[in-house]
Structure 1
Amino acid sequence: MDTVQQLHDISDSDVAAWHDVLAASVARDLPGEPMPTLDHVHGDLTTPGLDSRDLRWTVRTGDVLTGVARLRLFDGPGRDHLGQVTIDVHPDHRRRGVGSRLLETVAEAARRERRRTLVVEASSDTPGAAFLEAKGFACVLSLSLLLLDVREVTGITEIVHAEHPGYHLTRWLGVVPDELADTFATAKSAMGDMPAGDMDTTTTWDADRVRDMAEVVEKRGDTLLTVGALHGDTIAGFTELVIPVGDGTRAIQSDTAVVPEHRGNGLGLWVKAAMLDWLRAEWPAVEEIETDNAEDNEHMLAVNERLGFRPLRKTRQYHYEL
C-alpha cells in the first residue's frame, strides 16, 4: 500500500532517501548527466527560498520510499497565485499510480493555499513530460539547454580585452557590494522583457532582494559569481554563475541581462567571456557550464553559440490552471 506523508522537519535520513530517488531518476531519464550529491540535496531541502516557502511530501510503498514531491509557494507581489511543482518517482516504481497520488496531493494543497496556477518543468521526451501532458498541463515555454566544455573554449582573451569605450568590467563573489546594490537591482529588472513564451515572469528587484537572493545561494552551500559591465558607476549589463556544492565540475549559468539603453554594444558577450576567464583562472575544477535559452531568444542564443555552447537537450515549462 502507498502511504503519502508530508515532511516538516527534514532529517538526515529524509535527505538520503530523497537523494536516492533523485539519483535513480537522473540515471534513468538523463544518462550521462552529473548525479546530484547529498550536500546539494541537503542544501536544497533545508534552505528556504527567497520570498517563498516549500511544502514537501514522500510516498512509501511498504518500507520503500518510491516518490517525492515539492510545492514551492511564492509570496512576493504578482507571484502569490503561483505554485512551482517538482515530482520524482523512482524508476522501479513508475506506472503504478505513485506520481498521480503525489500530483493530487500537491494540487489539493495548492488550492488550500489559494493558488491558481501550477508551474512545472520537464525535459522533453522523458516520462515526466508525457505524464504532465496526459494530466492536462499545457506547455507555455520551450527551452534549449546548452552545454559548454570550459576546457575547449578559445579566443576568450581577445573578447575580454576588446575595447568598449565608456565601459569597464567589475566582478564580485557572493553578495553584491553595497555601492552597487541599487544599480544592480535596476539591471536585474532588465530581464523582464526577455522572451519567455506565455510564462509569468513578473519579478520586482530592489537592493534588499538582490542581497537576499545571494544569501540564499550561500546558505545552500553554493558559490555565486557575478561579472558586470559598468558605465560610470551604473551597471549596464551583467552575468551570474552558480557553482553547486558537491561535485563542482558543472556550473550553472544564472541570469544574464543588458539594460535596454546599453544594448547593441556587445556587453552580453563581453561579460560572459570575462566570467569564463575568471572561472578558468580561479575554479579550474569546473569543466562545464550549463545554460538554458528560450528558443525565441535569438540574441542570447547567438552569444552562447559564439562562446562555444552546444545543444544538450530540450526542456519545457508547463502550466496547469487550478
Structure 2
Amino acid sequence: MDRVQRLRDVSDTDVAAWHEVVAASVADDFPGEPAPTLDQVHGQLTTPGAGSRHLMWVATADGAVTGVARLRLFEGAGRRHLGEFTLHVHPEHRRRGVGTHLLRTVARAARDEKRRSLVVEASSETSGAAFLETNGFICALSLSLLLLNVPEAQGVDQIVRTEHPGYRLIRWLGVVPDDLAEAFAAAKSAMGDMPTGKMDFGTTTWDIDRVRDMAEVVEKRGDTLLTVATLHDDTIAGFTELVIPVGDGTRAIQYDTAVVSAHRGKGLGLWVKAAMLEWLRAEWPAVLEIETDNAEDNTHMLAVNERLGFRPLRQTRQYQCDPTMIH
C-alpha cells in the first residue's frame, strides 16, 4: 500500500522526484509534448499563486515517489470557497489505487479548509477524465487547447500597422508601471464576463495590489511576464499577457487577454495579440510556440486566435465537485 505524506519543506530531492513523476505522466498521456522543466517545478512548489496558499502531498512505495498532488487554496474575498488541484500518478504505478488515495487526501484537506468546491482540469483524451467522473466530478466547462507556431504566424505586421484612431499601443515587462497600475487593475476586472460555463470560480477583485502580486509571483518563479495593452486617453481599453517559463523557453503560455466592454468590436484584441507576437519575434526569438486555451463558447476569442494562426492541439475539460462527496 502506498503511503501518502504531506510535503512541507521542499528540498531539491523533492523537486527532482516530483518532476520525474510529472514528466513521466506527460510523456505517457501526451507523447511529444514538452513536460515542465526542473526549474518550472521548483517554482510551482515553492511559490503559491497570487492570493492563495497551497498544500502538497507525495505518495511513496518502497522508497520511490509514485504520485503527487497539489491543492491551491484561494484566500481572496469571493473565492475562499474554492480549491484547485493537480494530481499525477507515475504510469508504472497506475491502477493500483495511488490516484484514489491522493484524491481522498486532497478532498479531506479541502473539507478541513471549509471549501465547498474542488476544481481540476483533465484532457478528454486521457484516463484522468474517466477517473474524475467515476469519483463524482462533473464537467462544467469544455476548453479548446490551441498552439501557435510563432515564426509561421501570418499577417502580424499588417495587423499591428492597422490604425485604431484614439488608441495607442504600450507594453511592459514584469510588474505594471506605477502610473498604469490603477488603469490596469480596472481593465483586469473586464474579465469578469468571460464565459466560464457552469464552473463555480467565484469572483476575483482586481486592485493595484493584486495586479502587482500576480506579476511578482511570476517573477519569483523565474518566469518572464510580458504585457501589451492599448490606451484610450488614460484608460487601458484592452491587454494581453504572455509568460515565458524559466528553463526551456521555447513554448510560451498565454495568460489573460481582455477588452473592456465599452471598447469591444474595434479589433483591439487582435491588435494587442499581434503586437505581442511582433515583440516576441524581435526580442525573444527562441520562443517558437504559444499555448493557449479557450472556452469552446468564447467564439470571439477563438476567431481572434484562429486569425493569428493558432491550431487545435487537444480538448480539455474543467471538472468540479463538492469535496464532501469524496470519501
State the TM-score bracket (shorter-chain normalisation): over 0.9
- What is aligned with 2:164? 164
Instruction: Give SS of 2:314's match.
Output: strand
Shift of 1:94: 0.2
Deviates more, 1:192-201 or 1:203-212: 192-201
- What is aligned with 1:219? 220
- What is aligned with 1:292? 293
- What is aligned with 1:206? 207
Instruction: Give SS of 1:58's match.
Output: strand
- What is aligned with 1:248? 249
User: 1-side partners of 2:115 and 2:234: how far apart?
Assistant: 41
Superposed CA offset, 1:85-119 (max 9, x none): 11100000000000000011111111111111111
User: 1-side partners of 2:47 and 2:177: how far apart?
Assistant: 23
Superposed CA offset, 1:104-149 (max 9, x none): 1111111111111111101112011111011110000000000000
CA contact (8 A) 2:48 2:72 kept: no
- What is aligned with 1:310? 311
- What is aligned with 2:283? 282
The runs of 5 or more residues in structure 1 that have no matched partner are none
The yes-or-no answer on 1:74 pairing with 2:71 is no
User: 2-side partners of 1:154 and 1:125: how far apart?
Assistant: 30
User: 2-side partners of 1:173 and 1:200: how far apart?
Assistant: 32
The yes-or-no answer on 1:237 pairing with 2:238 is yes
The yes-or-no answer on 1:2 pairing with 2:2 is yes
User: 2-side partners of 1:196 and 1:110: how far apart?
Assistant: 22
The runs of 5 or more residues in structure 2 that have no matched partner are none
Segments of 4+ moved more than 2 angstroms: none
Instruction: Give SS of 1:146's match.
Output: strand
User: 2-side partners of 1:51 and 1:163: how far apart?
Assistant: 38
The yes-or-no answer on 1:135 pairing with 2:135 is yes
Instruction: Give SS of 1:199's match.
Output: coil
Q: Kindly provide the amino acid, as one letter, of the partner of residue 295 in structure 1.
A: E
Identity of aligned residues (%): 75
User: 2-side partners of 1:94 and 1:85: how far apart?
Assistant: 18
Superposed CA offset, 1:245-294 (max 9, x none): 01000000000000000001100000000000000000000000000000
User: 2-side partners of 1:219 and 1:199: how far apart?
Assistant: 29
Instruction: Give SS of 2:95's match.
Output: coil
- What is aligned with 2:60? 60
CA contact (8 A) 2:117 2:200 kept: no
User: 2-side partners of 1:153 and 1:293: how far apart?
Assistant: 19
CA contact (8 A) 2:39 2:246 kept: yes
Shift of 1:200: 2.7
Q: TM-score, structure 2 length as denominator?
A: 0.97
Instruction: Give SS of 1:111's match.
Output: helix
Q: Kindly provide the amino acid, as one letter, of the partner of residue 99 in structure 2.
A: G
User: 2-side partners of 1:87 and 1:194: how far apart?
Assistant: 26
Please, what is the CA RMSD of the aligned residues? 0.7
- What is aligned with 2:31? 31
Shift of 1:208: 0.9
Q: Kindly provide the amino acid, as one letter, of the partner of residue 213 in structure 2.
A: D
Shift of 1:48: 2.4
Instruction: Give SS of 2:136's match.
Output: coil
- What is aligned with 1:174? 174
User: 1-side partners of 2:81 and 2:35: how far apart?
Assistant: 33
User: 1-side partners of 2:260 and 2:213: how far apart?
Assistant: 22
User: 1-side partners of 2:37 and 2:94: how far apart?
Assistant: 23
Q: TM-score, structure 1 length as denominator?
A: 0.99
Aligned length: 322
User: 1-side partners of 2:140 and 2:173: how far apart?
Assistant: 34
Taking the TM superposition and a 5 Å limit, the aligned residue runs for 1:145-164 are 145-164=145-164
Taking the TM superposition and a 5 Å limit, the aligned residue runs for 1:38-53 are 38-53=38-53
User: 2-side partners of 1:62 and 1:175: how far apart?
Assistant: 45
User: 1-side partners of 2:108 and 2:35: how far apart?
Assistant: 31
User: 2-side partners of 1:239 and 1:188: how far apart?
Assistant: 10
User: 1-side partners of 2:191 and 2:152: how far apart?
Assistant: 29
Shift of 1:61: 1.1
CA contact (8 A) 2:242 2:255 kept: yes
Instruction: Give SS of 1:209's match.
Output: helix
- What is aligned with 1:121? 121
Q: Kindly provide the amino acid, as one letter, of the partner of residue 160 in structure 1.
A: V
Q: Kindly provide the amino acid, as one letter, of the partner of residue 224 in structure 2.
A: T
Q: Kindly provide the amino acid, as one letter, of the partner of residue 139 in structure 2.
A: C
